[in-house]
C-alpha cells in the first residue's frame, strides 16, 4: 500500500532540513526547504505547520527550519537496547503464534508504530513503521495508558474524536476507555476485540523503563480459543518482562 502523501511529504521535508543541518551550512526557510524536498510550496506550508505542531520541526527567530525535539527523541529511542532486542522478540512471537507482533510508543492521543513483524503485516492497512493509530481503541495503544488515572485520561482524551474511529467495539467516550482499562488491569492483560479492525483480536502489555511505561508490546490476529489465549498471554508476558528489564537498564 502506498504511504499517504502527507506522510511522504513530511518525511521529505524533515529529511531535507536534517541534511542541510548536517552539511554545516545555514538552514533553509520554508521556500528553499520546499524546493529542496521537491514539495509544492503551499503544500509544504501546511505539512510543515503540522510537523511544527508535533515538534518534529521547529522554526528559529530568522524563520529557518530545523529538526525539533520530537525528532531527536524518536531517533534516540531507535538506539535503545530494548528496542533493538524487540525485533528478535517480535519475530519469535509472530513465527510461533502466526500473528502480527508490534511495538508502539506514545505520541499524545496516538500510538506510534516502532516495529512490526509477521507474514501478514502488510495486510493490516497502513500499519508500518512510523504509522500512527488511536491510543484508545488499539490493544497496544491502550497498554500505553495502563498507569493513567481517570483524571489523566480526561486530560489526554478530552478533545479526542471518538466518532467514526475504530471498529465496532471501539470505545466512544472517556468513560468507556476507563472501564476497559479497569477490566484489563484486573485480568492483567489488555484484550481488544474488534476495537480497531472488525474481527481482529489484539493482546498487549506495557514495556516499563526506569521511569514508567516506555512502549507497548502486542500481537494481533483472528479470534482464538481460551486455551490459545492463555498461551499468548504467557509468551507475551515473557517478552514484555525481558524487554522491560532491558529498558530499566
CA–CA distance, 192 with 149 (Å, rounded to integer) = 19
Q: Which helix (H) or strand (E) holds 124?
A: none
Q: Which among 46, 69, 92 is the end of a domain?
A: 69
Task: Check whether residue 64 and residue 9 sit in a common domain.
Answer: yes
Which stretch, 27-41, 62-76, 113-127, has highest mean pLDDT?
Answer: 27-41
Task: Check whether residue 134 and residue 65 sit in a common domain.
Answer: no
Largest CA distance in the chain: 62
What is the chain's percent helix, strand, coil content, to nearest 5?
45, 20, 35
Task: Check whether residue 117 and residue 153 sit in a common domain.
Answer: yes
Total domains, the chain: 2
Does the pLDDT at position 1 exceed 50?
no
- pLDDT at residue 139 in the model: 97
Task: Check whether residue 97 and residue 11 sit in a common domain.
Answer: no
Using pLDDT thresholds of 50, 70 and 90, give the confidence band for residue 73.
low
What range does the domain containing 40 cover?
Answer: 5-69
Its pTM stands at 0.69
Task: Check whether residue 118 and residue 235 sit in a common domain.
Answer: yes
CA–CA distance, 157 with 162 (Å, rounded to integer) = 9
Using pLDDT thresholds of 50, 70 and 90, give the confidence band for residue 28.
confident
* CATH assignment at residue 58: 1.10.10.10
Q: Which among 25, 46, 69 is the end of a domain?
A: 69
Angstrom distances, CA of residue 72 to CA of 4, 27, 43, 79, 155: 23, 17, 24, 11, 25
Please check whether residue 206 is in contact with residue 231, taking contact to mean a CB–CB distance below 8 angstroms. no
Task: Check whether residue 170 and residue 200 sit in a common domain.
Answer: yes
CA–CA distance, 46 with 242 (Å, rounded to integer) = 42
Task: Check whether residue 51 and residue 16 sit in a common domain.
Answer: yes
Task: Check whether residue 36 and residue 83 sit in a common domain.
Answer: no
* Residue 109: other Cβ atoms inside 10 A: 16
Using pLDDT thresholds of 50, 70 and 90, give the confidence band for residue 60.
confident
Does the pLDDT at position 44 exceed 80?
yes
Q: Which among 69, 88, 118 is the end of a domain?
A: 69
- pLDDT at residue 242 in the model: 95
* Residue 41: other Cβ atoms inside 10 A: 11
Task: Check whether residue 55 and residue 93 sit in a common domain.
Answer: no
Task: Check whether residue 9 and residue 120 sit in a common domain.
Answer: no
* CATH assignment at residue 85: 3.30.450.40
What is the chain's mean pLDDT, rounded? 86
Task: Check whether residue 64 and residue 88 sit in a common domain.
Answer: no
What are the pLDDT digits (tens) for 156-213? 999 998 988 999 999 999 999 999 999 999 999 999 999 999 999 999 999 999 889 9
User: What is 169-223 written as a DSSP string?
Assistant: T---SHHHHHHHHHHHHHHTSEEEESSSSTT-EEEEEEEEETTEEEEEEEEEES-
Using pLDDT thresholds of 50, 70 and 90, give the confidence band for residue 94.
very high
Amino acid at each position: 500500500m502506498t504511504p499517504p502523501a502527507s506522510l511522504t511529504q513530511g518525511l521529505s521535508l524533515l529529511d531535507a532540513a536534517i541534511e542541510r543541518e548536517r552539511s554545516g551550512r545555514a538552514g533553509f526557510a520554508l521556500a528553499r526547504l520546499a524546493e529542496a524536498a521537491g514539495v509544492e510550496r503551499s503544500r509544504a506550508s501546511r505539512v510543515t505547520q503540522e510537523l511544527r505542531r508535533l515538534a518534529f520541526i521547529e522554526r528559529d527567530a530568522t524563520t529557518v527550519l530545523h529538526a525539533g525535539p520530537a525528532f531527536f527523541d524518536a531517533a534516540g529511542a531507535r538506539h535503545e537496547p530494548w528496542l533493538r532486542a524487540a525485533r528478535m522478540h517480535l519475530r519469535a512471537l509472530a513465527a510461533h503464534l502466526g500473528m502480527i507482533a508490534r511495538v508502539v510508543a506514545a505520541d499524545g492521543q496516538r500510538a506510534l508504530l516502532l516495529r512490526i513483524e509477521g507474514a501478514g503485516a502488510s495486510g493490516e492497512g497502513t500499519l508500518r513503521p512510523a504509522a500512527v493509530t488511536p491510543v484508545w481503541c488499539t490493544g497496544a495503544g491502550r497498554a500505553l495508558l495502563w498507569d493513567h488515572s481517570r483524571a489523566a485520561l480526561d486530560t489526554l482524551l478530552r478533545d479526542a474524536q471518538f466518532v467514526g474511529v475504530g471498529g465496532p467495539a471501539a470505545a466512544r467516550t472517556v468513560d468507556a476507555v476507563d472501564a476497559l482499562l479497569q477490566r484489563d488491569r484486573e485480568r492483567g492483560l489488555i484484550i481488544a476485540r474488534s476495537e480497531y479492525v472488525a474481527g481482529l483480536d489484539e493482546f498487549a502489555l506495557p514495556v516499563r523503563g526506569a521511569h514508567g511505561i516506555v512502549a507497548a508490546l502486542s500481537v494481533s490476529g483472528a479470534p482464538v480459543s481460551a486455551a490459545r489465549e492463555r498461551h499468548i498471554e504467557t509468551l507475551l508476558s515473557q517478552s514484555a518482562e525481558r524487554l522491560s528489564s532491558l529498558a530499566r537498564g
